[in-house]
Amino acid sequence: MIQILSMDLYATRDIKIYNDCIKTYLLVTRNLEITMKLKALMLGVAAAATATTAQAADLPVAPEPVDYVRVCDAYGSRFYYIPGTETCLRVGGRLRTQFVVNNVLEDGPWGSRDSDGYSWLTRGYAYLDARNATEFGTLRAYVGLRMQVQNGENGFKLDAGYIQWGGLTAGYLGSNFNIYTGQAFIGVVTRDWSDVTTNQLAYTAAFGNGFSATVALEDRSDREVGAYGGTRAPDFVAALSMSQGWGSAQLSGALHQVYPDAAFNRTNASGDEDSLGWAIGAGVNVNLPFASSGSNIYFQGFYADGALSYIGNGITDISVVNNAGTTLGSVADYGGNGDKSTGYSLSAGVYIQATPTIGLAVDGSYAHVDQEDFIGATDADIDRWAIDGSVQWEPVSGFVLGADVGYSNTSADITGQNVDDLDELLFGVRMQRTF
């Protein structure tokens, strides 16, 4: 009885162990199955990723954008770097077309069948302005070209071209003697002041607070009034300038070689073969902010002794004709006896920005020349005054339309001669686009 009971106890224990083994087996099997499924899933994901990568590698890849043109803001707006360099360049231009009715008064071209009653001009400009920063200051090269057609005649010229390096300037540009060259939109009649573009070598020193001084050698060829011999010495020009918030001012001076031609020297028994002419000028430009932004008024005056170009080219282009139609002579830096002629000019102008798009301007000048030995031993007093006014409309920035009217009067007082005044009245219209 005891044995039977013992065997039953052993059997019960074995069955329990057996059941535990079965449970363990099932659990391990289940975990193994899950592990296999996870492994298969991971392999599938890896395969898919590999396939996707292969497909993506086959697709074309867009190149990164390259900044071929960079803006250069060191010298103001509209400059950009020339690709591959550190040179800043500004490109611009202007196109204008205008129609001017020439002098309509009695002595004008409308009274002569062979003279043009109107002048029709179309002119284009192209500008290139290149600049670099150097340890000695800005290195600049500027080129301005002018192309035009006027009354069927074609023309092409250098409007300006120069190199600047620090304070040094060399090339073809406005004379350093010039101060203000007018407010009128067209300027159909010539007013008298210095307005010459010439070859030059100049140095400008800036002292701060808007003050600067310039000394220059300038081509004498552009300042000759009368019959000159060959070039020998350039003009020496100096200027002291000031520019501040209220406006600007300038004081100018020039020395000029008076060098008559050989034909004059053959007939000149008493005068010198050459002499030293000179000129001085001063001007001031005052802003008028109480009127409107951009409005201003200027005054200037010039005096010359043997250097009449410095007072203006209106009176210096005059040929005097008496009532009989005989040409008595022309204004010149020297007289028949070799003595130097003298003269002066006074001028003023105002510009008013009447509205944001409409501008009004008027200029006026008076000039006087004491012409030495005009006829034999007789001197001549020649006077000229001129006034020019305009209105301009700028409906779009850089696009301007305007009208202009001008009048001038020239008179000559010569002992023993009857000379009528020369009156001029001209009208003009212009359309202009600057870009």
Determine the pLDDT at residue 4: 36
Which residues 6+ apart lie within 8 Å of 81 measured at CB?
Answer: 69, 70, 71, 72, 87, 88, 89
Question: Helix (H) and strand (E) counts for the chain?
Answer: 2, 19
- Whole-angstrom distance, CA of residue 218 vs CA of residue 6: 139
CA pair distance 21, 359, nearest whole angstrom: 109
In order of 97, 163, 427, the CA distances from 189 in angstroms are: 17, 33, 9
For the chain, the first-to-last Cα distance in angstroms comes to 126
| pTM, 2 dp | 0.82
What's the rounded Cα separation, in Å, for the pair 351 and 359?
7
Exposed, middle or buried: residue 15 (CB in 10 Å: 0-12, 13-18, 19+)? Answer: exposed
Segments in the chain below pLDDT 70: 1-68, 268-272
Q: How far apart are CA 78 and CA 74, in angstroms?
A: 10
For residues 425 and 407, is the Cβ–Cβ distance under 8 A? Answer: yes
Assign 233 to helix, strand or coil: coil
Q: What is the pLDDT of residue 3?
A: 39
Q: What are phi and psi of 278, to 5 degrees?
A: -155, 165
Nearest to 435 by CA among 94, 69, 43, 20: 94
d(CA 155, CA 339): 38
Q: What was the pLDDT predicted at 1?
A: 35
Torsion of CA 413, 414, 416, 417, to 10 degrees: -80
The total number of residues written for the chain in this structure: 435
Cβ–Cβ under 8 Å, residues 229 and 262: yes
pLDDT digits (tens, 9 = 90+) for 46-105: 554 454 444 444 556 666 656 568 999 999 999 999 998 999 999 999 999 999 999 999
The CA distances from residue 75 to 29, 72, 90, 168, 256, in Å, are 82, 7, 10, 18, 36
CA angle at 391 for the pair 386 and 397, rounded to the nearest 5°: 135
Residue 16 backbone dihedrals phi, psi, to 5 degrees: -65, -45
Tokens of 130: 């290149």
CA-wise closest residue to 218 among 189, 191, 265, 178: 178
Q: Which two tokens stand for residue 259?
A: 């060098």
- How many beta carbons lie within 10 A of that of residue 431, not counting itself? 14
CB-CB contact of 202 with 214 (8 Å): yes
Q: Are 284 and 382 in contact (CB under 8 A)?
A: no
pLDDT at 13: 53
Q: Give the helix/strand (H/E) hosting 125.
A: strand 118-134
Instruction: Enter the tokens of residue 114.
Output: 């062979």
